[in-house]
C-alpha cells in the first residue's frame, strides 16, 4: 500500500511539474530583492518542499534540517557554554 501511495504521489508531481516550475518562477519574481540577495534559497526551499511532500514527510522539514537546524544548534550550544 505504501508503494502504491508513493507511485501516485510521483505521478501527481510529474503531471503537475510545469505548474510547480511556474509557481517557483513566480515566487522568485514576486520577491526580487530577496531573490537577488540569496539567489538560490527560495527556489531550493520550494523544490525541497515538493520533494518532502512526495516522500510523505512534513513539508519544509528537509530544508530545515539541512540549512537551518545547524545554525540553531550552534546557538543553543553557545548558550549552554555561557551558562557553565
**Calpha distance 37→65 (Å, rounded):** 22
Position 5 pLDDT exceeds 60: yes
Instruction: Compute CA distances 71 → 15, 20, 35, 61, 82, whole Å.
Output: 36, 29, 21, 15, 17
What are the tens digits of pLDDT across the range 22-62?
887 887 788 777 767 777 777 788 788 877 877 777 777 78
* pTM for this predicted structure: 0.48
Amino acid at each position: 500500500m505504501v508503494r502504491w501511495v508513493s507511485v501516485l504521489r510521483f505521478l501527481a508531481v510529474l503531471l503537475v511539474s510545469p505548474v510547480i516550475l511556474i509557481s517557483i518562477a513566480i515566487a522568485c519574481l514576486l520577491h526580487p530583492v530577496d531573490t537577488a540577495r540569496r539567489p538560490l534559497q527560495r527556489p531550493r526551499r520550494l523544490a525541497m518542499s515538493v520533494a518532502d511532500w512526495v516522500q510523505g514527510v512534513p513539508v519544509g522539514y528537509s530544508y530545515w534540517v539541512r540549512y537551518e537546524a545547524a545554525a540553531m544548534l550552534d546557538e543553543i550550544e553557545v548558550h549552554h557554554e555561557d551558562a557553565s
